[in-house]
Amino acid sequence: MAGPADLRRRTAALLAAHPPATTAPLDFLRARFDAGLAWVHFPEGLGGLGAPRAHQAVVDAALAAAGAPDNDPRRIGIGLGMAAPTLLTYGTEEQKRRFLRPLWVGEEVWCQLFSEPGAGSDLAALATRAVRDGDDWVVTGQKVWTSSAHLARWAILVARTDPDVPKHRGITYFLCDMTDPGVEVRPLRQITGEAEFNEVFLTGVRIPDSRRLGAVGDGWRVAQTTLNNERVAIGGMKLPREGGMIAPVARTWRARPELRTHELRQRLLTLWVEAEVARLTGERLRQQLAAGQPGPEGAGLKLAFAHLNQQISGLEVELLGEEGLLYDDWTLRRPERVDFTGRDAGYRYLRAKGNSIEGGTSEILLNIVAERVLGLPAEPRTDKDVPWKALAR
């Protein structure tokens, strides 16, 4: 197993063989993946070296100091944070070798075809059908709130393959080529004026059985790996002290003394402390991930992320007064990445409203924390053992 000294040696060898100043960024990223320095905790040959996850920081620090390019993680966040760990857990060797390298270097963007107009919070009620036809599955249905679908080459997709069993048991997980016939992506204009979200229509899309992830009917269990990783990726992202949404508010506070009041000061101090607690909790959770896949604890982090972003952005608008209502661009844009900190306060305030929906609604996450973390009694669920086809929709 590679230790810190070995990782420093390997990183130095990568930099010597592929100097960042003279190597094309994509070529450098490919070489980094092949050297096992992409995800050091992944197996050898799949971008890693089987090292502890915590040792990734050793590699990242050395490469950053050398000015090496990164893989633009905001642009490919769904692939990195959701598709990759699910592929690693449930993918065949052929699937892992086909998808992980172009995913990590950013050649292929991924999106998530989970939520539907009638199955948002209750994802297990999804109605998109996949019917077996020889060596293929024929998929028909509609997905919604799909981030980056307009950029994506691949999608992780859950579809119903057996309507005769209860809703959690008749779901199968697929990898969908977004360029295939029958896939239609339409923009959804948001309150910010942008369209980073989409609705996706699937009409007779043929997916080879070789692109099924996990067993037929076991898609709900596979999807839990995706969802648990998603919540950690959203709520537990690595940040410096005073990073994230609290950073621009703190900068404004220091630079604009004329805006300060005692009441706003108290609120800012409270939110600053809460943001630091959330950051340190995320750091601890990432360290625990060295032992395996994330569990339901990530739901708590994602809850804190949504609450804090909305409270902090609201405080920023109040602090700026009329200036806080300004917004630089209301035209319909199709962004490649979400930028919470590089835009106007008005954008942050509006965009943060979606934080309590994306990655699992706050109401559902509260149930997860209550039942799976705190061990409280589960809410009554009368539809749990009813065949999906018999449910009211």
Does a structural domain hold residue 363?
yes
How many angstroms from the chain centroid is the CA of residue 287?
18
Does a structural domain hold residue 313?
yes
Both tokens assigned to 355: 């934080």
H-helix or E-strand spanning residue 260: none
Does a structural domain hold residue 278?
yes
Q: What is the pLDDT of residues 169-216, one digit of tens each?
A: 999 999 999 999 999 999 998 888 888 889 999 999 999 999 999 999
Residues 48-76 have a mean pLDDT of 93
Query: Considering only 105-119, 172-186, 254-268, 323-337, which range has the smallest mean pLDDT?
Result: 323-337
Does a structural domain hold residue 287?
yes
Does a structural domain hold residue 58?
yes
Q: What is the pLDDT of residue 27?
A: 98
Tell me the residue range of the domain where 32 lies.
7-70
Pairing of strands 110-113, 154-160: parallel
Q: In terms of pLDDT, which residue wins out, 228 or 14?
A: 14
Query: Considering only 145-149, 168-172, 251-255, 288-292, which range has the smallest mean pLDDT?
Result: 288-292
Q: Which amino acid is at 212?
A: R
Query: Considering only 55-59, 136-140, 199-203, 291-295, which range has the smallest mean pLDDT?
Result: 291-295
Q: What is the pLDDT of residues 115-154, one digit of tens each?
A: 999 887 889 999 999 999 999 999 999 999 999 999 999 9
Q: What is the pLDDT of residue 200?
A: 98
Helical H segments across 323-384, by residue range: 345-351, 362-368
Cα dihedral sign, 195-348-244-289? negative
Instruction: Decide: 126 and 139 in contact? Cβ < 8 Å.
Output: no
Does a structural domain hold residue 301?
yes
The tally of domains found in the chain comes to: 2
Q: What are the phi and psi torsion angles at 298 (to 5°)? A: -60, -25
Q: What is the pLDDT of residue 295?
A: 66
Q: What is the pLDDT of residue 28?
A: 98
Sole residue written with tokens 């990530």: 298
Beta strands in the chain (DSSP E): 110-113, 129-133, 136-144, 154-160, 171-177, 183-188, 197-208, 212-213
Domain of 243: which CATH number?
Answer: 1.20.140.10
Does a structural domain hold residue 283?
yes
Instruction: Decide: 228 and 294 in contact? Cβ < 8 Å.
Output: yes
- pLDDT bin (cut points 50, 70, 90) of residue 372 is confident
- The DSSP string of 119-152 is BSS-GGG---EEEEETTEEEEEEEEES-TTTTT-
**Angle value at C-alpha 266, between 350 and 268, nearest 5 degrees:** 35
pTM over the 0.75 mark: yes
Q: Does the structure show a pLDDT above 80 at 254?
A: yes
- Residues noted as catalytic: 230
Q: What percent of the chain has pLDDT over 70?
A: 93
Both tokens assigned to 113: 């075809």
